[in-house]
Structure 1
Amino acid sequence: MHRRNFVKSTMGIAGAALATAESMASPFGPKAKHSYNLKYASHFGMFANSAGKDIIDQLKFMADQGFMALEDNGMMKRPVAEQERIAKEMSRLGMEMGVFVVDKGGNGANTLAAGKQEYIDIFLDGCKRAVDVAKRVNAKYMTVVPGNFERKLPIGVQTGHVIDALRRGAEILEPHGLVMVLEPLSDSPDLFLRTSDQTYEICRGVNSKSCKILYDIYHMQKNEGRIIHNIDMTWSEIDYFQIGDEPGRKEPTTGEINYKNVFKYIYDRSKKEGRDFIMGMEHGNSKPGKDGEMDLIKAYQESDSFAK
């Protein structure tokens, strides 16, 4: 080969390699800096100091760091154009959509435990609107909280009312392959749904693949403890997990929960049974600024570093 042709050929190969590298490059660094065992879903604002305020840039940063899912409680309240913009970028990045909250899907103002038709209608309208949002953003799961106790009624009657309402919600979601995940909470003693066994009982009563448990590890540590034991007891009805350490509701390693052991249990059992969970990062950052965001990432890398 003549020297001139050799140089041109070499430059062409180098140029192609550079073009390929540039096409794969990200403004935040190489993609998938860390490969996690579980599928962790971060949320908007968690990395705003590192990625900037634009939500698309935040999605890119999440994917760059190996967080390949998103959850957004307020998705139903976003404009349609913004929902579509989010979904388009997530599809490009290969990210999955986790939960969003069913708007007015049951709360203190329209508790399903009361059995009142006007409250049920509000809930069912939320489910119908959630179907459109789920299709738009490629979501499968949506959070439902039944609301507060109706203290004037016996607990069994309240439970029956909740089951009846959720059955009707499931009838709306099931034809579309969607799942409402019921979240027991610790925020107030007035909330009807508070423990995993209670939620298990209700899911069994609804008896639909579209009504399952959202097991929020932070809330359940506060309300009942024995995290791995209670996950094991209610496993068949769990479809989604959320994360937060206690006390403080910050990232793993900042509180009393041994997340490395919890994550390992979920990983080992889900792989054995062929299940695949999204793990929602529904917590705050323990430290401010970019340094706090980097510490959060390190905390997940450490907690996910269990032996397979």
Structure 2
Amino acid sequence: MPRFAANLSMLYPQHDFLDRFAAAAADGFAAVEYLFPYAYNPQELKQRLDDNGLVQALFNAPPGDWDACERGIASLPGREAEFRSGVERALEYAQVLGNDKVHVMAGLLPNEDLRQRHQAVYLENLAFAAKQAKAAGVTILIEPINTRDMPDFFLNRQDQAQDICKQVGADNLKVQFDCYHCQIVEGDLISKLRRDFAGIGHIQIAGVPDRHEPNLGELNYNSLFEEIDRLGYTGWIGCEYRPKGDTSQGLEWLRQWQAR
């Protein structure tokens, strides 16, 4: 049976962030993920986890200047020192919060002519991140993101991400398989899951095309969940969607799945 983690960056928007932990626990979630923890003291976040019996599944390494529309710096030439400092900071948080996965965002590619240069930086930075993370018992994740939601993002396809991991050659570098992004860019999700399963480190879900609840839109998530079970996935599935209405009411999809 798949295990689901509430993405607190998107779910329960009516609550202040720190109050979303209790809201998720009240709805039966056993784990949470979110984009960034760095606005809070790690001990404060750990207390929220402990108070609500929650597991920290995942968060992202620092992405650069998010408010200035930076979307990661792992592939950006000239930002190597900042990236490496950010990885070390993320691992410090992970040691307190207890998660064993950290997502590293690639960043934007301003011009396709620069891809080779950016890829060289990306490979070097990922090798550094994986080496540092291995000593801490953490897996580094990279994620293909669709260019409709995030124009010019460096990494877009599952095969591209898997090839990057193979080039780095670290056993603790894996791909974050976001069903929403993959469906928009490529489709044929079950075939991709089967093909790449050994290299997948985390799975996320949302309805397509509007990124609402997974039961809204074109994807048959019951079929996907069954396949994920058949493949033997034991990690968390992150619910990274924007609720169409009230988060708790919108979890009827989850209650129905768990009642099967």
Q: TM-score range by the shorter chain?
A: 0.7 to 0.9
Q: Quick one: distance in 1 between partners of 2:252 and 2:121?
A: 45
2:4 to 14, 30, 40: 40
SS in structure 2 of the partner of residue 253 of structure 1: coil
SS in structure 2 of the partner of residue 218 of structure 1: helix
Query: Where in structure 2 are there 5+ consecutive unaligned residues?
Result: none
Cα distance, 1:215 vs. partner?
0.7
Q: Quick one: distance in 2 between partners of 1:304 and 1:230?
A: 25
Q: Report the number of matched residues.
A: 254
Whichever residue aligns with residue 123 of structure 1, its letter is: F
Whether the 8 Å CA contact 1:110–1:119 is kept in 2: the answer is no
Whether the 8 Å CA contact 1:147–1:191 is kept in 2: the answer is yes
Q: Quick one: distance in 2 between partners of 1:109 and 1:72?
A: 15
Work out which structure has the larger RCO, using CA pairs closer than 8 Å and 6 or more positions apart in sequence.
2
Any idea what the Cα deviations from partners look like across 1:201-233, whole Å, max 9, x if unmatched? 011111113311111111111111111111111
1:100 corresponds to: 59
> Are residue 285 (structure 1) and residue 252 (structure 2) matched?
no
1:268 to 230, 238, 249: 230
Q: Quick one: distance in 2 between partners of 1:204 and 1:305?
A: 39
Whether the 8 Å CA contact 1:252–1:300 is kept in 2: the answer is no
Whether the 8 Å CA contact 2:61–2:103 is kept in 1: the answer is yes
Q: Counterparts of 1:11-26 in structure 2 under 5 Å?
A: none
Backbone CA RMSD of aligned residues: 2.4
Identity %: 21
Whether the 8 Å CA contact 2:5–2:239 is kept in 1: the answer is yes
> Are residue 166 (structure 1) and residue 126 (structure 2) matched?
yes
2:173 corresponds to: 211
Distance 1:109 1:135, change over 3 A: closer
Whichever residue aligns with residue 59 of structure 2, its letter is: F
Whichever residue aligns with residue 71 of structure 1, its letter is: E
Q: Quick one: distance in 1 between partners of 2:166 and 2:223?
A: 28
Whether the 8 Å CA contact 2:176–2:202 is kept in 1: the answer is yes
Distance 1:152 1:62, change over 3 A: closer
Normalized against structure 2, the TM-score is what?
0.87
Query: Where in structure 1 are there 5+ consecutive unaligned residues?
Result: 1-36
Q: Quick one: distance in 2 between partners of 1:113 and 1:47?
A: 32
